[in-house]
Structure 1
Amino acid sequence: MSASRSALRPYVCSSCRHGVLAPRRRFSSKPAQNPEIYDVVCVGGGPAGLGLLAALRASPVTSKLKVALVESQDLDKARSWDLPTHEFSNRVSSLTPSSVAFLRRIGALELLDTDRVQDYQQMQVWDGETGSKISFDWAEETSPFEDPRTVATMTENANLVRALLSRIEASGDENLKIFSKTTVSSIENGSDHPDGPDLSAWPVLTVAPSEASPASTSEPPVRIAARLLVGADGINSPVRSFADIATEGWDYNRHGVVATLALSDSEAPTFPAGMRTAFQRFLPALGGPIALLPLPNNHATLVWSTTPEHAAYLKSLPPNAFISMVNAAFRLSMTDLKYMMKMKRVGEEEEVNQHDAELTWRLQHTPQPNHIPPMVTGVQERSVASFPLRFRHASTYISPRVALIGDAAHVIHPLAGQGLNLGLGDVASLSNTIEYAVTHGMDVGDLLSLERYSTERWGANAKVGGVCDLLHKLYNVPGQGPVAWGRSLGLNVIDRLPFVKGFLMRQAEGGA
């Protein structure tokens, strides 16, 4: 029934909508006071939600719209976030050049702490089963007299969130309301008030201080109505549920292990000077790829996609043993790695020596390619964590007076590092769509207005998600059979065809 409703929803005219679609929405039995009316209400204060508000406030066309953001977490903590220069958060994202250009356009890029931002100009990717490799860089399209062109930019999510909050606050508080430490108690259709506007087709939110907030017992709930309600509220989006938008997807039975690592100095000087490289090795026998992405001050962030059992094992290791496993993952054969993943823990000191000794001995008998990363020398305390990997895609991104962005609309495998970039691409497209509607005197919540956004983003995101899903399946086939032979041939051929590689890189950087 939910699929048929979702399919019906976009084709119902506004005059019929209340009668046909109302049973799918939740209603208040006794409406309270008339809600306060906003042009745009965004639920979710992560990079996508904050990015949308920052973009709307930065545009002269949309800066006067009355906007609100609702976030359950304490945004004061995000504003005051600060870490020592030698420490980094383990929630880090790789921004494509188009995402960087978008942040620059809305005035948020210059508010990032640049000492915590790291560009890289090359990415080395290879198959741990067959040894086939591909190098991604712009060397073929850049003059030798120019500085190396950036492939992507690494930044902590907290650094980005703080910069977006600063950008929003710099726009002033006129027509702006941010509900921090606030939960959405309910979303329902409004009603036709005798002494007010007809809000029967408008989403009306009841928001209240979260239970953890000191104000939770003293402040009464607030009701707000949205001309356009934007869901930036994650994979379990209440806004998406309210709009009755279905999703398709699956769990990968894989976890992503993350950590902040310290690296040894590179043995060979880089050329050109300052050239930074990201590394990714596919490990079919262990359930997914391992990636090492550069951070400032000779640090790196780890993202290792593997089975839940292996993830639990890695998280249980003491620091020195964990470091040995990461170094082994970039250097040893699949057989060696599978053996080391089964080494039993006896005692902390004994295990540390055991992993170090095992790695040292096996490296003596394993030829090393020239594209491996520097040795990991340290792991930041309390930075090792994991999260489940999933694929989800909404059947549509829009509904009458509702739009979805970021993880509320799509969640993909992280092997290409495109999750945040797709969300910022949504933000850029939706903010442009709202700007177009305002410029042409259109209702920003009407389906005709929102269709531009859906047309631009649904297919593009589905393509990226599908490619990541295919790569995940392709590189989880272990052994030396025909699948391994085919993917090995594909990597080697692409690496020798600069125009094909350039095309793939331009596709990857076009998120926002």
Structure 2
Amino acid sequence: MRPLARSLIRPYVCPSCRSGRLPVRRQFASDAQVTPEIYDVVCVGGGPAGLGLLAALRASPATSKLKVALIETQDLQKARAWNLDSQHFSNRVSSLTPSSVSFLQKIGAWDHVDQDRAQQYQEMQVWDGETGSRISFDWSMETSPFEDLRTVATMTENSNLVRALLSRISASGDENISIFSNTTVSSIENGADLPDGPDLSAWPILSLSPTGTAPSQGPSRIAARLLVGADGINSPVRRFADISTDGWDYNRNGVVATLSLAEQDPVPFPLGTKTAYQRFLPSLGGPVALLPLPNNHATLVWSTTAENAAYLKSLSPKSFIAMVNAAFRLGMPDLKYMMAMERPTSSDVDDQHESELSWRLQHTPPSSPQPPLVTGVQEGSVAAFPLRFRHASTYVSPRVALVGDAAHVIHPLAGQGLNLGMGDVASLARTLDYAVTHGMDVGDILTLERYAAERYTTNAKIGGACDMLHKLYNVPGQGPIAWGRSLGLEVIERLPFVKGLLMRQAEG
């Protein structure tokens, strides 16, 4: 934990300083002693977690009067103006659980989400590429025949969500809120006890500078009663608070792409029902998932080795489409062969992956259910990112709290990353609401421990479960581990109450 000068001896700051209304006086001190602009809550990071926290604070009557600020290195004006036509989708897409959607509805942000670009799905089919064992997740056992099938999750682009949160924050007015876009935090340090001024010795002081050639937007130094780190896996806020992390790299990459699909055959019943598909491919390094988007599109998330990821990214569109279709239909020996094929060097042999897939499908018994065939890949949408596991040793420090990827990064196989971040934000917003309602200091460690106690175990449990599944389903072959995981899937599939319990846990 970072050293705090007199933080426990003199935690009091006078009411006028608390609200930022400091007496005007001449300053002859050095820059380090000039009184910074004071905020109740400063959030570093303008992704879904950081923006979600600001929107939640602005939506609550108790916290709406807090003086808050958000700092983001990217240009948020571009995020506000983001727009794609109905046939194109970003490759950064998240699966929002019903609890995350409920939180967004509660804070008024869901009304700003473009619903034409969001896709609910009511079923998820999961199976093992080695053993063929299957499990399906849906709410059919808990839904009346006269009701519509409940939603498992809702797919939406991160850009759609960020734009909606910015719109919701803007609709809350501009009183007591500052958004520093195109701004970098150049340093964070403990404040000082200023002569004839407030004692900020326990407060984080942030030095701000414009990103690149962007013009300066406001004060160069600000003080935070509570500093929130929503600034990602390499969080400077976490580093300032001297909070350690445990974890490891998986030596795996997640390959993502936006795909076009053929019409589903047969037509699903009830009409409009959407299904997500995930197949575990132990011999290739991880699962492949196809998650539905509107207008017969889908997003691909394929976890595989770094070598396989580089191979997939190097393929032509036709060959890439053939590999994705093969990943959901062929046996492991066939898939390993196709992944080792030489890349086409000219357009006249560009269809060799297609030809190989067509020939092998003739000799592969069809299995059901299968996802619709992939017919196209959106130009420029194929990308890859490294997969890691990280968990902070604590989420709080005096006047510091961590949310989202700054606190935890997990394997994406269950699609829980953003949902855990939304859970953090909802919990921290409730904690601050309680503190303000009961006259507590929002940055005091006793206040923040309420948030840490609520979220740490939950996130550790889900992150640990995803890590265990990753390791369990990376053991290739037909040995005892493969037999054990196959038996586990079949048992869960035959015990609806157990499957329902797992779904409720994933739902949040």
Does the TM-score normalized on the shorter chain lie above 0.5? yes
Alignment of 1:314-325 (within 5 A): 314-325=312-323
Of 421, 424, 433, 1:423 maps to 421
Partner in structure 2 of residue 465 of structure 1: 463
- The structure 1 residue matched to 2:302, chosen from 301, 304, 307, is 304
Q: CA RMSD in A?
A: 1.6
Q: Verify the 8 A CA contact 1:321 1:351 in the aligned structure 2.
A: no
1:15 is paired with a residue whose SS is: coil
Map 1:223-302; keep pairs closer than 5 Å: 223-302=221-300
Cα shift at 1:347: 2.1
Residue 17 of structure 1 deviates from its aligned partner by 9.0
> How big is each residue's C-alpha offset from its partner over 1:265-306, in whole Å with a ceiling of 9 and x where there is no partner?
011011111110000000000000000000000000000000
Cα distance, 1:348–1:59 mapped onto 2, change above 3 Å: farther
In structure 1, C-alpha distance between the alignment counterparts of 2:169 and 2:343, rounded to whole Å: 50
**Does structure 2 retain, via aligned residues, the 8 Å contact 1:318–1:348?**
no
Provide the secondary structure at the position in 1 that maps to 2:459. Answer: helix
In structure 2, the gaps of 5 or more residues are: 13-28
Alignment of 1:56-67 (within 5 A): 56-67=57-68
Q: Per-residue deviation at 1:349? A: 2.1
Q: CA deviation at 1:32?
A: 4.7
- Aligned letter for 2:345? G
**Partner Cα separation in structure 2 for residue 44 and residue 198 of structure 1:** 27
The structure 2 residue matched to 1:339, chosen from 323, 337, 345, is 337
Q: Which amino acid aligns with 2:378?
A: Q
Q: Quote how far apart the aligned CAs of 1:31 are.
A: 0.6
Q: C-alpha separation between the residues in 2 aligned to 1:195 and 1:494?
A: 67
Question: Alpha-carbon deviations, 1:334-365, whole Å to 9, x = none?
Answer: 10000000110242424422101100000000
Which of the residues 387, 403, 410 maps onto 1:389? Answer: 387
Secondary structure at the aligned position of 1:427 is classed as helix
Contact in 2 for aligned 1:228/1:444 (Cα 8 Å):
yes
Aligned to 2:481: 483
- Of 1, 8, 12 in structure 2, the residue corresponding to residue 14 of structure 1 is 8
Kept in 2: contact 1:345–1:351 (CA 8 A): no
Q: Secondary structure, in 3 states, of the residue corresponding to 2:341? A: coil
Contact 1:260–1:300 under 8 Å retained in 2: yes
Equivalent residue, structure 2, for 1:148: 149
Give the drift of 1:16. Answer: 8.0
The answer on 1:45 being equivalent to 2:39 is: no
AA aligned to 2:92 is R
Matches within 5 A, 1:358-369: 358-369=356-367
What CA distance in whole angstroms lies between the structure 2 residues aligned with 1:385 and 1:427? 28
Name the CA shift for 1:348/1:148 in 2 (closer, same or farther; >3 Å). Answer: farther
Aligned counterpart, 1:167: 168
Distance 2:131 2:370 in 1: 15
Alignment partner, residue 71 of structure 1? 72
Between the aligned partners of 2:30 and 2:310, the Cα distance in structure 1 is: 48
Offset from partner CA, 1:377-411 (integer Å, 9 cap, x none): 00000000000000000000000000000000000
Is the counterpart of residue 434 in structure 1 residue 428 in structure 2? no
Q: Deviation at 1:212?
A: 3.9
1:125 is matched with which residue? 126
| Amino acid in the other structure paired with 2:486 | S
- Structure 1 residue 157 and structure 2 residue 164: aligned? no
Structure 1 SS opposite 2:265: coil
> How far apart, CA to CA, are the structure 1 residues paired with 2:115 and 2:227?
33
Residue 353 of structure 1 pairs with residue 351 of structure 2: yes
Letter in 1 for 2:433: E
**Aligned equivalent of 1:410, options 408, 418, 421:** 408
CA contact (8 A) 2:33 2:192 kept: no
- 2:500 is matched with 502
Q: d(CA) in 1 for partners of 2:372 and 2:218?
A: 56
* CA deviation after TM superposition for structure 1 residue 29, in Å: 8.6
Aligned residues of 2:180 and 2:218 also touching (Cα < 8 A): no
Q: Distance in 2 between matches of 1:283 and 1:17?
A: 55
User: Is contact 1:285-1:476 (8 Å) kept?
Assistant: yes
Distance 2:344 2:294 in 1: 36
CA distance in 1, matches of 2:327, 2:235: 36
C-alpha distance in structure 2 between counterparts of 1:236 and 1:13, whole Å: 26
Give the alignment partner of residue 452 of structure 1, picking from 432, 450, 457.
Answer: 450
Cα distance between partner residues in 1 of 2:95 and 2:320 = 24
Q: Is the 8 A contact 2:42 2:68 kept in 1?
A: yes
1:156 Cα offset (Å)? 0.1
**How far apart are the structure 1 equivalents of 2:352 and 2:495?**
44
Gaps of 5+ in 1: 19-27
User: 1:73-222 residue pairs with structure 2 within 5 A?
Assistant: 73-213=74-214, 215=215, 222=220
Instruction: Report if aligned partners of 1:209, 1:221 keep a CA contact under 8 Å in 2.
Output: no
Match of 2:21 in 1: none
Structure 2 residue identity aligned to 1:15: I
The farther-off stretch of 190-199 and 156-165 is 190-199
Task: Quote the Cα distance in structure 2 between the aligned partners of 1:267 and 1:304.
Answer: 24
Describe the superposition over 1:194-216 as per-residue Cα deviations: whole angstroms up to 9, x where unpaired. 12210000000011111142x16
SS, match of residue 279 in structure 1: strand
CA–CA distance in structure 2, aligned partners of residues 334 and 370 of structure 1:
17
Q: Counterparts of 1:161 and 1:411 in 2: how far apart (Å)?
A: 20
Residue equivalent to 2:20? none
Q: 1:317 to 1:400 in 2, by over 3 A?
A: same
8 Å CA contact retained: 1:208, 1:220:
no
Residue 93 of structure 1 aligns to a residue in which SS? strand
For the Cα contact (< 8 Å) 2:33–2:194, is it kept in 1? no
Distance 1:29 1:321, change over 3 A: farther
SS of match in other structure, 1:130: coil
Letter in structure 1 aligned against 2:390: R
Question: Is contact 2:37-2:219 (8 Å) kept?
Answer: no
**Which residue identity does 1:296 align to in structure 2?**
P
1:46-79, Cα deviation, whole Å (9 max, x unpaired): 0000000000000001000000000000000000
- Please give the alpha-carbon distance, in whole angstroms, between the structure 2 residues aligned to 1:74 and 1:348: 40
C-alpha separation in 2, matches of 1:123 and 1:350: 39
What amino acid sits opposite 1:228 in the alignment? L
How far the C-alpha of 1:221 sits from its partner, in A, is: 6.0
Q: 1:220 & 1:505 partners in 2: Cα distance?
A: 47
Q: Report SS of the residue matched to 2:32.
A: coil
Give the structure 2 partner of residue 22 of structure 1: none
**Letter of the 2:91 counterpart:** N
Identity of aligned residues (%): 74
- Residue matched to 1:54: 55
TM value normalised by structure 1:
0.94
CA distance in 2, matches of 1:329, 1:70: 42
